[in-house]
Amino acid sequence: MARTEVTAQTATRDGLSPSMTAATSDGHMFVNNGRRYVRITNTSASPVTVTIPVGATVDGQTVSGRQISVPDTDGDVSTGFWPVAYNQPDGMVHVDYSATSGVSVAVVECPPV
């Protein structure tokens, strides 16, 4: 797959209205430093499943990816990922979509406390 990298946008004390990127059939990826989360919106008429492949193995066994259901019409889901589990060997988190029409994504970084 030729994934497209999504650049993180940094939240401030004043908040952030993130710029959303349209989902692609080849999926997205982003650098995960433990302070980043992904926001997924869905305006299509059907729910969408977003899969985050697990980058680690347990005792040499592949672990199935995390599946996130994003509701139809006005679905809006945000979630973060532990680097030790979800980072791929290159430090990226991969994001796969069951459908892309009406689906958008943003990566937001929380500033250090």
- Cα 23 to its chain centre, rounded Å, is 10
Among the listed residues 74, 20, 17, the one whose alpha carbon sits nearest the alpha carbon of residue 42: 74
Measure the CA angle with vertex 82, ends 7 and 1; round to 5°.
50
As a whole number of angstroms, the distance between CA 71 and CA 5 comes to 24
Q: What are the boundaries of each domain within the chain?
A: 4-109
The answer regarding whether domain 4-109 maps to CATH 2.60.120 reads yes
Q: Could you read off the pLDDT tens digit of each residue along the chain, which spans 113 residues?
A: 599 999 999 998 888 999 999 999 999 999 999 999 999 999 999 999 999 999 888 888 888 899 999 999 998 999 988 898 899 999 999 999 999 999 999 999 998 77
pLDDT at 39: 95
